[in-house]
Amino acid sequence: MTSSSPVHYLSTLSFPDRWLDRLRASHPGLTVTQVPAASPADVPEEVWRRTQILHTSSVFPNTADAAPDLRWIQLDTSGADHLKDTAVWDLPVPLTSIGGISPVPMAEYVMMMLLGLAHRLPRAIEVQQSGKWPSLSERWNTLMPRRLRGATVGVVGYGRIGHEIGRLAGEFGMTVLGLKRGRATRAGEFFGTPAEGSGEAELYTPDELHAFMNRCDYLVVTCPLTDETRGMIDAAAFGALKDGAMVINVSRGGIVDESALRTGLRSGRIAGAALDVFDEEPLPADHHWWTEPGVILTPHVAGFAPDYEEQTLELVSANVQRFLAGRELINLVDRTRGY
């Protein structure tokens, strides 16, 4: 694409004017349009027809003919699993994600939950809500913390987020295991610079899942949802999990068998859980997870990034520059892998 060619960018999101103005200023040849949209019908047909760069989470043209000039889709999500069985997946245009924006807050969330579970936060909240000061024996037996130093945390999905979890866990003196699709790092360019520190882990591959689970005092699930990972942490995997382990899930609903997890919690084989993602979202008001003993629940917020707008602008601007120069984009979604 030549520098004189007009390039039309469409956001279906709700960025503030200052964000859009900075994007325009960074790329004078870019025509920036924003149409906050909940469905394709919210975007005027003439806007769809001229769009070449689409920045969106879940609003796409109904047909390829509706956006004949579309050349690239920048997702405002870190995953692409919601597109797997849609027509968008088969469009002959690159997809890129905003992966790399959330690893730090997600890793901090995981450490918050590791500490919360280890220090019996669910039980402490029950005590607070009861308004009754427990006896010394009750406190000793139900609020005694578990140690983190020397314990083993296993991270399913040892990519950018997993590496940051491993780095922080290492600072607490934990042994870190990582389970990932291949022992080698996936080639390609990604957004975000890892923080200083090791983040090193003893790596396992999916065919070693049960051996991996057997070593975990704490299990953290943070892998993308793909055909390979759907239902991966099932009853058999939980059966292999170290007795008395605790589980933290910040990935996607569908990876962890929720029924098997609940069975493990009720039997006592799993000592506690922190859950941010679920098979059904939004979680119904009468769902058992809201009141499940020993569980800390949050409504899919682990990936919220306080610097989201600034980092997204940095990523989008860098990718626009690459697009204009005909270079490979950052955070390309590999359709063969599903992420």
Distance CA 60, CA 40 (A): 6
Domain pair 7-101+306-325 / 103-297, same fold: yes
User: 16 in helix, strand or coil?
Assistant: coil
The rounded distance, in Å, linking the Cα atoms of 9 and 27 is 11
* Residues known to be catalytic: 252, 281, 300
Kindly report the pTM of this predicted structure: 0.90
Instruction: Let me know: does 162 contact 173? Beta carbons within 8 Å.
Output: no
The answer to whether the CB of 194 falls within 8 A of the CB of 164 is yes
pLDDT in tens, the chain (339 residues): 545 678 999 999 999 999 999 999 999 999 999 999 999 999 999 999 999 999 999 999 999 999 999 999 999 999 899 998 899 999 999 999 999 999 999 999 999 999 999 999 999 999 999 999 999 999 999 999 999 999 999 999 999 999 999 999 999 999 999 999 864 444 446 776 555 566 689 999 999 999 999 999 999 999 999 999 999 999 999 999 999 999 999 999 999 999 999 999 999 999 999 999 999 999 999 999 999 999 999 999 999 999 999 999 999 999 999 999 999 999 999 999 888
H or E segment at 274? Answer: strand 270-275
**What's the CA angle centered on 28, arms 26 and 30, to 5 degrees?**
95
Residue 230 has a CB neighbour count (10 Å cut-off) of: 12
What is the topology classification, in CATH, of domain 7-101+306-325?
Rossmann fold (3.40.50)
The domain locations on the chain are 7-101+306-325, 103-297
Residues contacting 185, CB < 8 A, separation 6+: none
CA distances from 27 to 8, 106, 123, 244, 321 (A): 11, 31, 54, 55, 8
Class at the top of the CATH hierarchy for domain 103-297: alpha beta
